[in-house]
Amino acid sequence: MQAKTRKDYAIGIDIGGTNTVFGMVDHRGDIRYRGAISTRKHDTIEPYIEELHEALLPAIEHVGGIQNVRGIGVGAPNGNYYNGTIEYAPNLRFQGIIPLANLMEKKFGLPTALTNDANAAAVGEMMYGVAVGMKDFIMITLGTGVGSGIVANGQLIYGHDGFAGELGHTITIPGGRFHPGTGAHGSLEAYASATGVTRTAHEFLDKDPSKESLLRAYPREDIDSRIVYDCAMKGDAISGDIFRYTGEILGMALANFVMFSSPEAIVLFGGLTKAGDLLLKPTKASMEKNLLPIFQNKVKLVFSELKEADAAILGASALVWELKKD
């Protein structure tokens, strides 16, 4: 056998609103080198890519040079798999339609695949997480917002235009809470995100101002899902109610998703999952209650076991192994 060029590494990049984290990942899903840069520092895409390139050079060096790297996978908000573009991402400073994959290919000389951040996380779960071996599952990311990645028949569902899986924006409570980012009323994200939990806390505290709560010891603007969690764990009644309410709405939405694609599992991921059973139990109960009997007690509702930063890097890097170009 002749020696041949090995391309055993893939770069995974997760572009978040605040930070961009990246890793050099091997075939087994081990992250061999990690790094991060600020996403917010640049107004335009070119200097951002310039800085990302600089930051990645040591990672490329670490695995013996660019000839050992097969490509780049990127997860980004509003990332479009078909076009390799980021389109009108509300939480990024880069405006309009950004041909990111194209720009990356030019800068790095490596084939680049792009998808949205929740899709990348779903791929990460499918290749290295709790969804290994599953052909039908839904990934729900519960962070500042609510994202989703849907796998059916063993494939990510991208839809006709590459934007499938915006489950956080489905209308769950018609005429409900206003979502300032989208203008929608009653979308899931207005309730089942970290931001949603904070809003629920404010609503519940205001609704019954005379009711005692540990939450009242905190300045109103400081109350977040972590504080609600801490208070609930100390037995605070309102804090417990906040998670029950969140779980009820989330569970109803999940039931609707199950009746759409009948997944083997729903994988919950992101900051809000730190609430553990406080969130999981009411969510599961509400999901089962709202399911048609043929779907009841079939769907696993589980938390991701991947480290939050890792899932997106791993998932993004996994896109590389599916790249047709080489």
The residue ranges that bind a copy of itself (CB under 8 A) are: 78, 87-88, 134-136, 150, 152-153, 155, 157-167, 169-174, 182, 184, 252, 255-257, 259-264, 290, 292-295, 298
233 CB contacts (<8 Å, ≥6 apart)? Answer: 278
* Closer by beta carbon to a copy of itself, 19 or else 88: 88
Q: State the nearest-atom distance from the C-beta of 106 to a copy of itself, in Å.
A: 26
Q: State the nearest-atom distance from the C-beta of 60 to a copy of itself, in Å.
A: 34
Burial of 123-152, coded b for 16+ CB within 10 Å and e otherwise, reads bbbbbbbbbeebebbbbbbbbbbbbbbbbe
Residue corresponding to tokens 């509400």: 286
* Closer by beta carbon to a copy of itself, 68 or else 261: 261
Strands 112-116 and 137-142 come out as unpaired
Q: State the nearest-atom distance from the C-beta of 77 to a copy of itself, in Å.
A: 11
* Closer by beta carbon to a copy of itself, 13 or else 253: 253
Which runs of E-coded beta strand occur in 27-110?
31-38, 69-76, 79-80, 85-87, 97-98
* Closer by beta carbon to a copy of itself, 67 or else 262: 262
State the Cα–Cα distance between residues 23 and 194, nearest whole angstrom.
Answer: 26
* Closer by beta carbon to a copy of itself, 66 or else 157: 157
Q: State the nearest-atom distance from the C-beta of 183 to a copy of itself, in Å.
A: 9
Q: State the nearest-atom distance from the C-beta of 84 to a copy of itself, in Å.
A: 16
**Is 13 in a helix, a strand, or coil?**
strand
